[in-house]
Amino acid sequence: MPDLRILHWETLSKNQFDAIDRERAVVMLTCSPLEVHGPHLPLGADVFEGAGLAERALRFLPERHCDRSFLALPFIYVAADPVPQPGSIGFRPSTLISVIEDLGRSLANQGFRNVLVSNFHGSPRHFLAIETGCDRVAKTTGIRMLCLFSAMLTRLGVEGSELGHVLGHIDGVRATDFDADTHAGLVETSQLLALHPEWVDPSYKSLPKRSTAIWAAENGITHAKARGSGPAAIPAMVAQFKNTLKFFAEETYSGSPAEASAELGESFLDVLAEGSAKAITELLDGRLPEAQWHSPIWKLRQLFVNPLAIRALDRLLDTPETVG
């Protein structure tokens, strides 16, 4: 693996900054929320995972890119749709788009040509807002500004919020371990154990599996998964989303954190980072197809980032206000 040194923007002096070849440098930023992740993970779990994903991806870059400067900005916690629990801080997608646009244009004006925005928060309104900001900057300035999380989803063929079909081949896990593993469960707890075990509460070992389906059954609520994606499936999809929102207003994790381990976390990170590195390599080589700059649901972005659509969907789903 290449021996790369990441420079931290906030620690550099003027002379050190001026010595950087901005044309070849790669600016890295993590944009993830501060939000509740069960009773056992730190509020910055998505931040640490986003930064961990980007840094791990550098290990898989080919030698021809190892002489570049990798310059990390401090993380930004402007994020949409955190879990509606005290401790979570939420922002409108439009705010996030503006932040990414302003940041990208500032970097472009200083001569930087390559920017990676990492993240590990799976809300479409969040990562599509990042994508939108990056896309606008790329089109108006000509720089390469990539939402790394979205490119990873496309590269690995991830379309939903569960990662079983991507990570299920790893030794020590079963396919059923990934059922409903969408927030602070097996995957995220394992990754935090690998990245920052000092911030994981040992209570994770005794936490039972939780999911919207389990919660609905306990409360006598009908919870059927929507089948298909046509108009006939819309009522079931709306009911499913409503149940999920109600679940996360009461519960703080979904999945099986007790099955987690640092060893699994290392393996999970390697798989996700290797897929990310392939996209980064092609981006830096100038041969990443534009369709692969985006997530699988990029074509639906107006449903998730358009202010009118957001207000309409929030009314339809009775979306709770984020407690901040």
Task: Tell me the per-residue pLDDT of 154-186, one tens digit each, with 9 for 90 and over.
Answer: 988 886 667 778 898 999 998 888 999 999 999
Please list the alpha-helical segments (H only) found in the chain: 14-18, 45-58, 93-109, 124-141, 148-156, 164-167, 186-195, 212-218, 234-250, 262-285, 301-305, 307-317
**pLDDT value at residue 303:** 87
Mean pLDDT of 262-287: 96
**Is 57 domain-assigned?**
yes
Which among 48, 18, 201, 219 has a CA at the least distance from the CA of 120? 48
* Alpha carbon distance 122, 107 (integer Å): 26
**pLDDT value at residue 280:** 97
**pLDDT value at residue 9:** 98
Q: Where in the sequence is the domain holding 312, given as residue range(s)?
A: 6-179+266-317
Residue 311: C-alpha distances to residues 90, 134, 139, 305, 317 (Å): 15, 23, 28, 10, 10
**Is 186 domain-assigned?**
no
* Alpha carbon distance 92, 111 (integer Å): 29
pLDDT at residue 209 is higher than 90 = yes
Mean pLDDT of 277-297: 93
Coil, strand, or helix at residue 4? coil
CATH number at 21 reads 3.40.50.10310
Which among 104, 165, 155, 119 has a CA at the least distance from the CA of 294? 155
**pLDDT value at residue 235:** 65
Mean pLDDT of 19-30: 97
**pLDDT value at residue 234:** 54
* Alpha carbon distance 238, 175 (integer Å): 27
Coil, strand, or helix at residue 261? coil
**Is 323 domain-assigned?**
no
Task: Note whether 38 and 106 are within 8 A (CB).
Answer: no
pLDDT at residue 229 is higher than 60 = no
Task: Note whether 254 and 208 are within 8 A (CB).
Answer: no
**Is 225 domain-assigned?**
no
Output the average pLDDT for the chain: 91
| Band (305; pLDDT cuts 50, 70, 90) | very high
Mean pLDDT of 310-318: 83
Q: Residue 242 burial by CB count (10 A; 0-12/13-18/19+): exposed, middle or buried?
A: middle
**Is 20 domain-assigned?**
yes
pLDDT at residue 49 is higher than 50 = yes
| pTM of the predicted structure, to 2 decimals | 0.93
Query: For residue 37, what are the β-bridge partners?
Result: 41
**pLDDT value at residue 221:** 86
pLDDT at residue 273 is higher than 70 = yes
**pLDDT value at residue 321:** 67
**Is 254 domain-assigned?**
no
* Alpha carbon distance 191, 268 (integer Å): 7
Residue 317: C-alpha distances to residues 63, 211, 311 (Å): 49, 19, 10
Lowest mean pLDDT among 75-79, 185-189, 229-233, 237-241: 229-233
* Alpha carbon distance 215, 9 (integer Å): 45
Which among 57, 142, 140, 135 has a CA at the least distance from the CA of 100? 135
| Band (323; pLDDT cuts 50, 70, 90) | very low
**Is 31 domain-assigned?**
yes
Lowest mean pLDDT among 113-117, 298-302, 320-324: 320-324
Which among 162, 169, 183, 237 has a CA at the least distance from the CA of 43? 183
pLDDT at residue 279 is higher than 70 = yes
**Is 162 domain-assigned?**
yes
Q: Residue 165 burial by CB count (10 A; 0-12/13-18/19+): exposed, middle or buried?
A: middle
DSSP labels for 77-127? ---S---SSTT-----HHHHHHHHHHHHHHHHHTT--EEEEE-----HHHH
Domain count along the chain: 1
pLDDT at residue 146 is higher than 80 = yes
pLDDT at residue 231 is higher than 60 = no
Mean pLDDT of 66-78: 96
Mean pLDDT of 301-316: 88
